[in-house]
Amino acid sequence: MTAMSSVSIKTTIAAKPEFKFGKNKVSANNVNVFYGDKHALKDVTVNIPEKAVMAFIGPSGCGKSTFLRCLNRMNDTIPIAKVTGKVEIDNQDIYDKALDVVQLRARVGMVFQKPNPFPKSIYENIAYGPKIHGLAASKSDLNEIVEASLKKAGLWDEVKDRLSDSGTGLSGGQQQRLCIARAIAVSPEIILMDEPCSALDPIATARIEELIDELRENFTIVIVTHSMQQAARVSQRTAFFHLGVLVEEGTTDTIFTNPNDSRTQDYITGRFG
């Protein structure tokens, strides 16, 4: 695993087969975000393809997490935040008054920077979402969902004998996979990941990255990361943010091997950030 990270970025990418993108799942048009007087995000326009991993990279404070939080309207929870512009998922405006944010978030799951399992049992952590959304008709349904979600998150074998233990007692990497399983359990279409590995050690990080690669088959994944290697390893498309502006967006290959913008070039070659 340590060997993997020492391989140069270019060879990692060269080894990947050509990726064929599906239709666009999310399209954002001229999105602006203000935190009080601060203009945090400026005129971001981008499309996110379905069943692929899209990475947002850029130096910290560049607006990548802010933009991610626009996609499931988590910015709503911050009283001073104001969002303008248009975000569509499957051609439906998610800021439309008719759309309930609860319905939106059931479709767009999220995994956070720091693992945040609920202080409940492992089982209850997973069962929480299906329960509130009424996804399970019976107890056995619920058991099935919990098992399937934990299996998908690659956690089942480690926890199947202690489902009633507290979720907060797991290791950091396990907690983060529990949070991913928790998100999967509501069967969302999109999963947003906000630097999901920044609080984890390299081994746990590698497991999460493998998991992301597997999840891509069923979900549209958007990941914010401060690690360029991670973006190169897991994503098919990459967008580079700088000072609240989307500088450049394209296939991960292009961004890392042949960027158009000099700022992107400077960032990926490590001249700032």
Q: How many chain residues touch other proteins (CB under 8 A)? A: 49
The first and second tokens of residue 247, run together, are 């500088």
Instruction: Name the minimum Å distance from CB 270 to other proteins.
Output: 29
Instruction: Name the minimum Å distance from CB 180 to other proteins.
Output: 12
- Interaction between residue 255 and other proteins (CB under 8 A): no
Residue 136: phi and psi, rounded to 5, are -110, 125
- Interaction between residue 33 and other proteins (CB under 8 A): no
Stretch that binds other proteins, among 31-39, 48-56, 154-162, 237-245 (CB under 8 A): 154-162
From residue 53 to residue 72, what is the string marking binding to other proteins with x (rule CB under 8 A)? -------------------x
Rounded to an integer, what distance in angstroms lies between the CA atom of residue 211 and that of residue 133?
A: 25
Rounded to an integer, what distance in angstroms lies between the CA atom of residue 263 and that of residue 267?
A: 6
User: If we measure between CA atoms, which residue out of 58, 43, 6 comes closest to residue 273?
Assistant: 58
| Beta strands 220-224; 53-57: pairing state | parallel
Identify the helix (H) or strand (E) that includes residue 245. strand 245-251
Rounded to an integer, what distance in angstroms lies between the CA atom of residue 150 and that of residue 184?
A: 9
- Interaction between residue 157 and other proteins (CB under 8 A): yes
- Interaction between residue 120 and other proteins (CB under 8 A): yes
Rounded to an integer, what distance in angstroms lies between the CA atom of residue 121 and that of residue 188?
A: 22
User: If we measure between CA atoms, which residue out of 221, 238, 245, 188 comes closest to residue 62?
Assistant: 245
Residue 190: phi and psi, rounded to 5, are -125, 140
Q: Which is nearer to other proteins, 115 or 259 (CB)?
A: 115
Total number of residues shown for the chain:
273
Rule CB under 8 A: choose which of 44, 74, 122, 200 binds other proteins: 74
From residue 77 to residue 116, what is the string marking binding to other proteins with x (rule CB under 8 A)? x-x--------------------x-xxxxxx-xx-x-x-x
Binders of other proteins in range 201-220 (CB under 8 A): 206-207, 210-211, 214, 218
Q: Name the site residues for other proteins (rule: CB under 8 A).
A: 72, 74, 77, 79, 100, 102-107, 109-110, 112, 114, 116-120, 128-129, 132-135, 144-145, 148-149, 151-152, 154, 156-157, 179, 182-187, 192, 206-207, 210-211, 214, 218
